[in-house]
Amino acid sequence: MNQSKAENDEFTMLRTLPDGFMNLEDQRKKYRYTLHVDGIGCSNRLQKQMASDILIIKNDSVMMEFFYAALRPWVHYVPTGYNGRAEVSTIVQYLRTKDDMARAIAGEARRFAHTHLVEEGRLCYLKVLFEEMKQLMQYESKPDDFPVKISYDEEVKEYKESGTLHISGIA
């Protein structure tokens, strides 16, 4: 898909390159704003954008990643309902008149990313998630609840001997 940049569209981040996209480092050097809209699922794109020190114009979304609840509009990003290009243009025009504020928001997003969207932050999230899930469990499992244990090697041997599974590379 060719998403070329018109001369006056600073929020357009993609342009025609051999691979079709501009990497985030080049975007950071060339642009002051980026637009984050929903795709067909969650990805780590917003995390990368936040770490890049570019102001993010983010659409309202029903899709949620683990850190979205901690983000604050006008602190970590500028919100938009994404009602079309005209709305984004209006936001960009406003931001041009408030450059100090725009830089501060981009800086807060970057600080958030470098503080919370790192391995330690992810592991902390997973720890809390599993602790909360444990509180919701109706029972506590014990090793004796699962008396039959079959290793992968035993399972492959069983299928191999019965001739019901054909895995290439297994003699």
Q: Which domains does the chain have, with CATH numbers?
A: 1-165 (3.40.50)
d(CA 77, CA 108): 9
Collapsed DSSP state (helix, strand, coil) of residue 1: coil
Say what the pTM is: 0.63
pLDDT at 3 over 70: no
Structure tokens at 61: 């979304």
The arithmetic mean of pLDDT across residues 25-29, rounded, is 77
| % the chain with pLDDT above 70 | 78
User: At what angle are helices 99-116 and 85-97 packed, to 10 degrees?
Assistant: 100
CB 11 within 8 A of CB 88: yes
Tell me the pLDDT tens digit for each residue of 66-118: 899 999 999 999 999 878 788 999 999 999 999 999 999 999 999 999 999 99
Highest mean pLDDT among 33-37, 46-50, 70-74, 123-127: 70-74
Q: Please state, in angstroms and rounded to a whole number, the distance separating the CA atoms of residues 92 and 87.
A: 9
Classify residue 50 as exposed, middle or buried by CB count within 10 Å of its CB (0-12, 13-18, 19+): buried
